[in-house]
Chain A
Amino acid sequence: SAVISQKPSRDICQRGTSLTIQCQVDSQVTMMFWYRQQPGQSLTLIATANQGSEATYESGFVIDKFPISRPNLTFSTLTVSNMSPEDSSIYLCSVGEQGLGANVLTFGAGSRLTVL
């Protein structure tokens, strides 16, 4: 299965700053997905990142707050802008690949952000 590397693995950020999370995949993939997991909560899809086009955002998430880049088929970034403590979460990058008869989502190890 695909190997996904995310950086940073964790960070402590100050309110009002922005942080960019990088996601590198060891194979070319069409779609990459960014999820957020707030403390003690489930995963919520932020957006789908397609190479060569604008990301598609889910309800409640906007490009100004979570700009995404997808410069090629193996790489994407998610920026969390103007952070507040409510943005403290794990942010996970994922890709879909065929396995066991289904298109399975494979996840990176996540980026754990704490905003003070």
Chain B
Amino acid sequence: AQKITQTQPGMFVQEKEAVTLDCTYDTSDPSYGLFWYKQPSSGEMIFLIYQGSYDQQNATEGRYSLNFQKARKSANLVISASQLGDSAMYFCAMRWAGYSTLTFGKGTMLLVSP
């Protein structure tokens, strides 16, 4: 079965610290893509970072990096130097080969404290 799992309902971190949000997936397909989105309280979905299953390097975008461990089927998001504005819901999502849409995990609520 193809499935994506986020096991942390909520995470707390202090400003300027790094935080890792977990995401695991289950698929037998060799070709797939992994995405992370941020959803602030206002509700919009903001694309953060992408990792392809064949990519050799872990993806990075500014303060965001993706710790991609293919053998473990995990694609954890690492946010370095957390800021108050990082407080939001974070969703891991996956696209399987041949599909145009994304399947989302249940999300992790991140709260950054001063």
Q: Which residues of B contact A102 (CB under 8 A)?
A: 33, 35, 50, 52, 95
Please state if B44 and A103 are interface contacts (CB–CB under 8 Å). no
When C-beta atoms are compared, the residue in chain B nearest to A45 turns out to be B101
- Given A45-B101, A96-B100, is A104 in contact with B47 using a C-beta cutoff of 8 Å? yes
Stretch at the interface among B14-22, B69-77, B79-87, B104-112: B104-112
Q: How far is the CB of B108 from chain A (nearest CB, A)?
A: 11
Given the complex of chains A and B, what is the CA–CA distance between A110 and B107 in angstroms?
17
Q: How far is the CB of B100 from chain A (nearest CB, A)?
A: 6
Given the complex of chains A and B, what is the CA–CA distance between A107 and B35 in angstroms?
14
Q: Quick one: which of A33-49 are within 8 Å of B by CB? A: 33, 41-45, 48
Give me the interface of B with A, judged by CB distance under 8 Å: 33, 35, 42-45, 47, 49-50, 52, 55, 61, 91, 95, 100-107
Q: How far is the CB of B101 from chain A (nearest CB, A)?
A: 5
Q: Which of A41, A101, A107 contacts B45 (CB 8 A)?
A: A107
Q: Which residues of B contact A107 (CB under 8 A)?
A: 44-45
Give me the interface of A with B, judged by CB distance under 8 Å: 31, 33, 41-45, 48, 90, 92, 94, 96, 99-110, 112
Please state if A42 and B47 are interface contacts (CB–CB under 8 Å). no
Please state if B101 and A105 are interface contacts (CB–CB under 8 Å). yes
Q: Which residues of A contact B45 (CB under 8 A)?
A: 43, 92, 94, 105, 107, 110
When C-beta atoms are compared, the residue in chain B nearest to A106 turns out to be B47
Given the complex of chains A and B, what is the CA–CA distance between A112 and B44 in angstroms?
11
Please state if A101 and B101 are interface contacts (CB–CB under 8 Å). no
- Given A90-B43, A103-B95, A110-B44, is A33 in contact with B101 using a C-beta cutoff of 8 Å? yes
Q: How far is the CB of A73 from chain B (nearest CB, A)?
A: 15
- Given A90-B43, A110-B44, is A103 in contact with B100 using a C-beta cutoff of 8 Å? yes
Told that A100-B50, A105-B102, A109-B43 touch, could you supply 12 new A-B pairs with CB distance under 8 A?
A: A31-B100, A41-B106, A43-B104, A99-B47, A102-B50, A103-B33, A104-B47, A105-B35, A105-B45, A107-B44, A107-B45, A112-B43
